[in-house]
Amino acid sequence: MAARPTWQGHLKLSLVTCPVALYAATSSSNEIHFNLINPETNNRIRMVPTDPDTGPVERSDLVKGYEVSKDEYVLFDDADFDKVRLESTKTISIDAFVDESDIDRLYWDDPFFVVPDKGAGADAFAVIRDAMMKQGKVALGKLVLRGKERQLALEVRGKGLLAYTLRAHDEVRDADDYFDDIPTVKADADMVEIAARIIAQKEADFDPTAFKDQYDDALRELIKSKTKGGKGMVEVAEPDDTNVIDLMEALRNSLKGSATGTKKPAAKKAPAKKAPAKKPAAKTKAA
């Protein structure tokens, strides 16, 4: 396997234990990365660790410090961190099984592939995997990863397991803090009906390959044009906000446009009923 494991240790279900390795399930290798350049010299800027009294220092000579009060720190080196050894440092111990629907989507975080390590643990891994598949549950465990203990949710994925780190409860903000200020509005029933028809016309199966990062493409075009010393970037205007007076008209036009642009008609859909005629709202002149 070409990729390097993010973590290696053991997976434990009661008395059954097997060596496993975690591999990051996502990649950022195709992302565009920029460096800081001094435009006067065209030199790349280097971030050099610097002591305000002695000047530049080697990063390997540094230790970590926890600020206990203003400008006072408790120092920690690698030996100190080695003393903090939890079972979850080297073992994913499955503590409970829950339904996937029990876990709010806000808590799901980074995905990892879990595979048996060193060959010898393949049999025990298969027992745990197949037992999880039979029960149809998501396993919960804990793991020390990147200097922090995280809860894990594990589910069967093909011949292996897929593990998601779960955000801690105090990391997730309360939605009410943001949604409570949304004004209570009774949407017009006719408008909702038209919007529902637009949604029905846009029904589709999820295809992750259909998404194309246009911003990334635009950056690459800009890089290409700058490399060749040419131009080629255009400004894109933001859409105007839809006002209340034009909302019904915008919905009706959207419904027509969606129907025209749909390649396949929605299956088993009854003909759209004509919305009841309403007295047109008086148009107001802009001030």
pLDDT in tens, the chain (287 residues): 568 899 999 999 988 889 999 999 998 777 888 888 988 888 898 888 999 999 999 999 999 999 999 989 999 998 888 887 777 888 999 999 999 999 999 999 999 999 998 766 789 999 999 999 999 999 999 999 888 899 999 999 999 999 999 999 999 999 999 999 999 999 989 989 989 998 898 888 888 888 887 878 888 888 888 887 655 454 556 666 656 557 778 777 877 776 665 544 444 444 444 444 444 444 433 33
**pTM for the structure as a whole:** 0.70
Residues 88 and 166 in one domain: yes
Q: SS3 for 117?
A: coil
Q: SS3 for 209?
A: helix
Residues 149 and 193 in one domain: no
Q: What domain range includes position 105? A: 7-27+84-171
Query: Which amino acid type is present at position 61?
Result: D
Selection from 32, 43, 7, 41 nearest residue 117 by Cα: 7
Residues 250 and 122 in one domain: no
Q: Is residue 257 part of a domain?
A: yes
Residues 106 and 188 in one domain: no
Pairing of strands 55-56, 7-13: unpaired
Q: How many domains does the chain have?
A: 2
Q: Determine the Cα–Cα distance for residues 63 and 74; give it in Å rounded to an integer.
A: 10
CATH number of the CATH domain containing 137: 2.40.290.10
Selection from 192, 210, 193, 197 nearest residue 259 by Cα: 197
**Which H helix or E strand runs over 97?**
strand 96-98
